[in-house]
Every structure is written in structure tokens, then in C-alpha cells.
Structure 1
Amino acid sequence: MTDVEKNEPDELLDGETSAEDDVTPTVSYDVSSYGSDPEVEVLVSRLRRGDIIIPPFQRDYVWRQPEASKFIESLLLGLPVPGVFFATDPSTNKQLVIDGQQRLKTLRFFFDGYFNPRPDDKTQKVFSLVKVQKQFDGKTYKTLEEIDRIRLQTSIIHATVVKQNAPLGDDTSLYHIFERLNSGGRRLTDQEMRLALYHGPLIDKLKVLNDYPSWRKIFGKINARLKDQELILRFFAMLKNRHRYERPMGEFLNKYAAANRNLGSTELDELGSIFTRTIDVFDSALTARPFRLTTSLNVAVYDSCMVGLATRLIAEGKPEPDGSNVRSAYAALMGNQDYLEKVSRSTADDAFVRKRMELAVDHFREC
């Protein structure tokens, strides 16, 4: 990752619509849920295989060894413990952890023998039980009495599993389930949830492109809440699907991410190429940092200008645009009052999105 310093995490960008201000989509879902009672040994095996996925943005493991030991002790004593909550990914049939990652990680750590191991640690801390009943004190998974080890392996942890049945081809209900169940504490951003729910080659490509030097110069510091990666996704979605845009913006991006999560390498390389070409032209042609009406990057100026210039770059039979022509087209667009209205308010509105895209494409067409 680039060594650019991380940006303030919770700032809204200029022209950005917060999730709380966005309209709720009108689609309805058929979602089923069921309970299961897997044994602990089964859960650990599935974690090891990657059948159960703990989203990478979830908070770090925060339990201390005494807390983790108490959880293991509860299972050894046959005491009830809180259940876990999974959502089934329909494209892979794997299960995403929505609630219960501290407990699940604790189980894996204990079975593997090391407490909260980290890849960069030269030495790992052995996970032996502390501050528990005398018969368990100092025990590791391997040194437990056989009867206790079997009791732990066969202990039951209740799991609630949800899965979307309809509409087919649109699994965005998982996004809304995730959003609602994670509403406590620090609210997850839209892109953080997409990172978990739509993980795959497309999301991986966003991470790579986010380090591109010209993009870092234009956007600024790395954003800890992934807003810079979301803007790259927004460019892809608008470039390909702007004629089918319907608000809310977040749902539009969800659908694009879900539908294209497993794009092939050829398509991803083409998207990456047009993104870097477009950013490079803006970086070299404009002396001031582009996409700004004030000091902050304006997302509506960004998405429309990027789509406008990219459309020009991929047009057949045209040479690379001259920098002075790009500057002139950009200046003319920034002086267009109709355009300025469409990037200054109601930026997720259907008509405003279509109009600013149309104006930007028109202005950059002949540059």
C-alpha cells in the first residue's frame, strides 16, 4: 500500500450524500432464515477451510486472554453461550459472519494453540487458559484431559443463518441485513460493507487502483473508511450503467458491485486502463487539483468529468487529446450554470445525474 498518510475517516466529501439522507429502495425481498446447532469442532474446521468468512473491516480482535479463557471455560462446563449470526453468500454458498467474530476467533486460536497470532510476530503466544477453575488453569487445547477436549469439540453454538431467495440475480438484501445488524457502535460505511459482501476480483482491483500515483495526487491522503475506493467503483458503474441509473446512489453501486464482483481479468484490465488513462490526463492537463468547487473533492464533478473524458478517450479513431484542449473543455464545463446546479445540490437525483453526465460528455467530446 502507498505510504500516503490516511485521511480523516468520517468527513463527507463535497457533494456527497450521506447514507442517512439517501432514499430507501422500493424493492422488496424474500429472505429466509433458519437456526442450526453446529458443534464447535465443525465451526473451527469451516473457519480453517474458509467456508466461514470474517469480513476484513470488522473491528480487531479485542478480547484479552482472561476473557477468551472464560469463554472456553463456559463451553467446558456446559454453560450456555451467545449464538452467532451468519449471512449466506448466494454466489459461493459461503457464510459471512455478521455477529460473533470474537467468539469464533477465540475458538480457532485455542484449537490452533496460539493466542491472537499475527503474521509479522516473530514469536507467538501460547494460548493456555488463565483465571479459570483449577482443573483447567494453564491447559492448552492439546493438554486438556481427553474427556474435556471431547466435551469442547462437541459443544453446541447456536447459529442463525439468513439467505435471500428473491429477487433472483440481486442479492442486495444481504447489504441491508448487514447494515441494520451493524448499526450499533461505529457505523460501517457503504464501501466497508461492500468489501465484505461483494469480495472478489472487482473489489481487489479497486484496492490496487487506489494506490495509483496520479489518483493519490488528485484525491489526497488514503481514506481510512474507503471513500477513495468507492469513487473508483462509482466511476466504473457510471461509465458502464449511467443510462440505467436510479437512485439511491448507494443501491446503484451495490447492484453494480454484486453483478460484476467476479469480472474476468480482461474486463478488469480494460476498466483499470481507462481509469488510469483518464486520471493521468487530468493530472497532467490541469495545474490545480481537479473536481473541486471548494477545497474538497466534489463527487458529482468527479463522476461526470471522469465519465466525460473517459468516453472521449475510448472513442474509436481519435488521437489522445491535447492538454490545452482538455483544460479548455474543463474550464467551459465549470463555467456552465446548468452544470454547476447539477453538481451542487440533489446530486443523487436521477434527472440531475443524467444531465450532468450529458453535459460533461458533450464538453469533452471535441477536446
Structure 2
Amino acid sequence: MNSKKEIIEEINNNRNLVGYDTVDWPIGYIKSQFDAARLYVPTYQRSFVWNSTIKSKFIESIFMGLPIPFLFLYRHKETGTLEIVDGAQRIQTLVEFLNNKLILNDLKKLKSLNGKIFNDIPEKYQVIFETTSLRIIVLDEKTTENNRKEIFNRLNTTGEKLEEIEVILGSYSGPFINFLKNCSENQLLKNLCPI
């Protein structure tokens, strides 16, 4: 069993290995940095794997004004360039959409955007989209490559994938959902109909 001294030493040795700042950048600025290769995807990131439905849903979320998870970048000390630690799929989707290479599809809320590219959107909403800011954690030069990989790993593997029923229960409410919850807790029903 570890002594308190060992616990304190271990925590202190692994604490504050990452320095960072939090910034808000407009989507248009993020795209410009990506286009200029000042913002790039490192080799440890997975390939661009989102399908068009996932990309479209992400773009729809921005148009709806929904909160978007933090992006994580690392600023290189020598060059000042920014490595994408977490958020490569989101950033590449933004760039693809703003470059008119993503045709929105399978949208459930903003159905009028299905089949549209960025240039098809009314100008007012193009401006709103490009000036919408996303929150970014910028890791500083004391953050080693191993620590960046650790952050990437933890952000992408520590959550459990939701079961389909959890998605449904988290997305919908009302009398029918309440009825289903009550049925799932009814012992007689569970005995008569074991599913």
C-alpha cells in the first residue's frame, strides 16, 4: 500500500506537465490558418473518417447555435505553427464546407439545408457561420509530444459509446418515453416479457 508521501510525490511529478491558454477564434479565422498550413493535422491523428451525414450534422449544430466541444491545439515553440491535438475531424469539416466541397444531407432540424453547399446559404447566415467563435485550448511548448498523445488518447477513449436507447432517452421526452421508463421498471412486466 502506498504511503501518503509516495502518493504526494507521484501526483506532483505528473501534475502541471501541460501549460495552456484558452482562446475563442472565429470559424473563418480557423479556416484561414488551416489553408495557410499554420494549423495542421499531425501524423498520430486518425485519417479524415467522418461520413457526409456526420459532417452535415456538425454543420447543422453550428447553424443552430449549439455548443461545440473544445478544440485542442499545440503551438510549436520554433515555428509558431499549431498542431491539432483534438478536433481534426471538426476542423477539416469546417474547411470542406467553407470550400463548397460538402453537400449537406440527412439533416433533421434544418431540412431546407439538405442538398446545399456553403454558397447556397443566404449571405447573412454565411457571415454568421464564419464569425461564430469556437473555444480552443492552446497547449504551450512545455507540452511534450507524449503528453499531447496522452491528451488525444484520453479525449478519444475515456468516454463510453452511448447505447442506442441512451441516445433516444437523451434526445426525446414526453408521455411515451415516460411510459417506456415505467415499463422498464415494472417487475411483473419484466417477468412476463423478459427481453
Matched, 1:46 2:30: no
Matched, 1:69 2:56: yes
Matched, 1:83 2:70: yes
DSSP 3-state at the match of 1:97:
strand
CA-to-partner distance for each residue in 1:84-121, whole Å, 9 max, x for gaps? 0011100001111100000000001111122xxxxxxx
CA RMSD for the aligned pairs? 2.2
2:100 to 104, 110, 113: 113
Structure 1: segments with no counterpart, 5+ residues: 1-25, 115-126, 165-170, 187-367
Q: Alpha carbons of 1:135 and 1:105: their partners in 2 closer, same or farther (altered >3 Å)?
A: same
Partner of 2:135: 158
Structure 2: segments with no counterpart, 5+ residues: 1-12, 158-195
C-alpha distance in 1 between matches for 2:124 and 2:138: 30
The percent of aligned pairs where both chains have the same amino acid is 24
Contact 1:87-1:174 at 8 Å conserved across structures: no
Partner of 2:91: 104
2:123 to 127, 134, 146: 146
> How far apart are residue 73 of structure 1 and its match?
0.8
TM-score, normalised to structure 2, is 0.66
> How far apart are residue 31 of structure 1 and its match?
4.8
C-alpha distance in 2 between matches for 1:28 and 1:80: 29
> How far apart are residue 178 of structure 1 and its match?
1.2
Q: Alpha carbons of 1:27 and 1:57: their partners in 2 closer, same or farther (altered >3 Å)?
A: closer
Partner of 2:149: 179
Paired residue total: 142
Partner of 2:104: 129
DSSP 3-state at the match of 2:153:
coil
TM-score, normalised to structure 1, is 0.36
> How far apart are residue 57 of structure 1 and its match?
3.8
Partner of 1:124: none
Kindly indicate whether structure 1 or structure 2 has the higher relative contact order, using CA contacts under 8 Å at least 6 residues apart: 2
CA-to-partner distance for each residue in 1:95-150, whole Å, 9 max, x for gaps? 11100000000001111122xxxxxxxxxxxx211112222121101111111111
Counterpart residue identity of residue 56, structure 1: T
Moved over 6 A (4+): 26-30
Equivalence map 1:1-367=2 (5 Å): 31-114=18-101, 127-132=102-107, 133-164=110-141, 173-184=143-154
CA-to-partner distance for each residue in 1:155-194, whole Å, 9 max, x for gaps? 1110001113xxxxxx5x32232132133579xxxxxxxx
Point out the structure with the larger strand share. 2
C-alpha distance in 1 between matches for 2:58 and 2:128: 14
Greater Rg over alpha carbons, structure: 1
DSSP 3-state at the match of 2:125:
helix
C-alpha distance in 2 between matches for 1:84 and 1:103: 9
Partner of 2:8: none
